[in-house]
């Protein structure tokens, strides 16, 4: 079955980036010159998914405006002969089709997904957390759709992390699947736990913000009680799902940045800037000149 819909929870308060996020959504913070959420939407499009469902909240209007047509701006750029900028601005409003739904209570990631239930319906769908930027030749979500096409079950993106970092993630316990197409990258998940103490973690395989989920997750979500951080956790619902149907963990190919964390945000900014044709050379020169 095809993956036609992607859910992006964007209602979070962004407290880790205060005061920058006092009056603007954290998803609009730019890496170089592009907001975080645009990286995610571009990955949705590049993965062949035509519709994005954004689960928003109060104070998030800028996201909607960003992906809308800006008549005044286009008119002004056209009048000034700024063709390249005009094309760039236009292309943003021509990305995938988008619908918005509000999460009225900040009850966590699992709750945000549940809010999108009626818009998703009875079909498998993708979830992207825009804090996680994944730079990959073949988009991470596309890689996961390929796994889904073979196995027809839910797939979570995973990555090995330092043992002492496990308490920031959902951590899986899994056994490697013998499949030569994804040798050493694919795991059948036996259990998972949200943000464990390093002493209790079942592995160092951490869930990263990309998921392909079967619609049966909604039933589990609707009866999942609040867990870590007093929030309804997607990890807890997946844990219940995996006793009923298979769930896979997939170590994706690509470089992931945790842009939800200040250090990760800076790493993404530096590395993405170095990759830009117009910026790379002078920026590298500048960095080399720093007396560190």
Find, among 289, 290, 258, 253, the residue nearest to 271 by Cα. 258
Contact of 260 with 128, CB cutoff 8 Å? no
Contact of 56 with 130, CB cutoff 8 Å? no
In terms of CB distance, is 43 or 194 closer to ligand G1P?
Answer: 194
> Which residues are bridge partners to 101 per DSSP?
55
Stretch 81-120: interaction string toward ligand G1P, x if CB under 6 A: ----------------------------x-----------
In terms of CB distance, is 77 or 157 closer to ligand G1P?
Answer: 157
- Measured from the CB of residue 168, what is the shortest distance to ligand G1P in angstroms? 7
Stretch that binds ligand G1P, among 81-89, 94-102, 228-236, 239-247 (CB under 6 A): 228-236
Residue 170 binding ligand G1P, by CB under 6 A: yes
Tally Cβ neighbours within 10 Å of residue 85.
15
Residue 211 binding ligand G1P, by CB under 6 A: no
Nearest residue by C-beta to ligand G1P?
Answer: 170
In terms of CB distance, is 88 or 164 closer to ligand G1P?
Answer: 164
Residue 206 binding ligand G1P, by CB under 6 A: yes
- The Cα 260–Cα 26 span in angstroms is 8
Phi-psi region of 265 (alpha: psi -120 to 50; beta: other; left: phi over 0): alpha
In terms of CB distance, is 215 or 229 closer to ligand G1P?
Answer: 229
- Measured from the CB of residue 228, what is the shortest distance to ligand G1P in angstroms? 8
Near ligand G1P in 129-168, by CB under 6 A: 129, 131-132
Residue 209 binding ligand G1P, by CB under 6 A: yes
Interacting residues of 233 by C-beta distance below 8 A, sequence separation 6+: 108, 109, 110, 170, 194, 224, 227
- Measured from the CB of residue 24, what is the shortest distance to ligand G1P in angstroms? 19
Q: What angle do CA 245, 144, 2 make, to 5 degrees?
A: 75
Interacting residues of 192 by C-beta distance below 8 A, sequence separation 6+: 170, 171, 172, 173, 202, 207, 235, 238, 239, 242
Stretch that binds ligand G1P, among 28-36, 88-96, 128-136, 213-221 (CB under 6 A): 128-136
Q: Which stretches of the chain bind ligand G1P, using CB under 6 A?
A: 109, 129, 131-132, 169-170, 194, 206-209, 233-235, 260
């Amino acid at each position: 079955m095809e993956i036609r819909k992607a859910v992006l929870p964007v209602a979070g308060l962004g407290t880790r980036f205060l005061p920058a996020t006092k009056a603007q959504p954290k998803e609009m913070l730019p890496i170089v010159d592009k907001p975080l959420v645009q990286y995610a939407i571009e990955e949705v499009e590049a993965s062949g998914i035509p519709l994005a469902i954004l689960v928003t909240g109060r104070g998030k209007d800028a996201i909607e405006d960003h992906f809308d047509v800006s008549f005044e701006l286009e008119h002004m750029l056209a009048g000034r002969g700024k063709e390249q900028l005009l094309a760039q601005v236009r292309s943003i409003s021509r990305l995938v089709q988008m619908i918005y739904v509000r999460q009225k209570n900040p009850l966590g990631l699992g709750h945000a997904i549940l809010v999108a239930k009626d818009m998703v319906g009875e079909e498998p769908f993708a979830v992207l957390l825009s804090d996680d930027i994944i730079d990959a030749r073949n988009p991470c979500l596309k890689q996961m759709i390929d796994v889904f096409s073979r196995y027809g079950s839910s797939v979570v993106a995973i990555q090995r992390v330092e043992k002492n970092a496990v308490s920031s993630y959902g951590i899986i316990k899994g056994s490697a699947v013998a499949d030569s197409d994804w040798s050493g990258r694919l795991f059948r998940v036996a259990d998972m736990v949200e943000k464990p103490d390093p002493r209790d973690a079942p592995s160092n395989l951490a869930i990263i913000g990309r998921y392909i989920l079967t619609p049966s997750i909604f039933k589990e979500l609707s009866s999942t009680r609040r867990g870590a951080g007093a929030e309804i956790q997607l990890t807890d619902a997946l844990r219940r799902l995996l006793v009923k149907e298979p769930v896979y963990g997939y170590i994706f190919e690509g470089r992931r940045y945790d842009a939800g964390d200040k250090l990760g945000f800076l790493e993404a900014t530096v590395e993405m800037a170095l990759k830009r044709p117009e910026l790379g050379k002078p920026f590298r020169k500048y960095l080399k000149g720093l007396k560190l």
